Amino acid sequence: QVHLVESGGGSVQAGGSLRLSCEHSGYRADATCMGWFRQFPGQDREAVGFTDTNGITSYTNSVKGRFTISADNAKNTLYLQMNNLKPEDTATYYCAIALVPAAKYCPGQYRRPADYTHWGQGTQVTVSS
């Protein structure tokens, strides 16, 4: 059973930093697509950024240059380093994993929340001005 556990959320002032972690376990796969999403109150989840088994990363425009996704495969942990945080980054953040036959499918086919079947419980990030 795939299991994802997020940690690292909290409250910071604008301009501050946080690092979210997502420990994942309970599966074997040829490849994985991994994503970070966030959800504002009353809205649908939106993508923050993605990575995959090939190490290809991409980000939504609003976080480019501020957020960095990385993975420690030895620890089965995905990270989201968030710098220069803004009040508009306040949201619940989720990590998600899709098990796929090859990482080449990730950039083109795994970009929406509906494409991901395994989710963490979410962690709250609050940025004050």
Pair of tokens at residue 27: 């599966």
66-100 in b/e form (b: 16+ CB < 10 A) is ebebebeeeeebbbbebeebeeebbbbbbbbbbeb
- pLDDT at site 9: 96
According to DSSP, residue 104 is labeled G
User: How many CB atoms lie under 10 A from the CB of residue 111?
Assistant: 16
- pLDDT at site 38: 98
Pair of tokens at residue 56: 């290809």
- pLDDT at site 56: 92
Burial category of 120 from C-beta neighbours within 10 Å (exposed 0-12, middle 13-18, buried 19 and up): buried
Q: pLDDT 10s digit of each residue in the chain, 129 long?
A: 999 999 999 999 999 999 999 999 999 888 999 999 999 999 999 999 999 999 999 999 999 999 999 999 899 999 999 999 999 999 999 999 999 999 989 988 999 999 999 999 999 999 999
User: How many CB atoms lie under 10 A from the CB of residue 49?
Assistant: 18
- pLDDT at site 28: 87
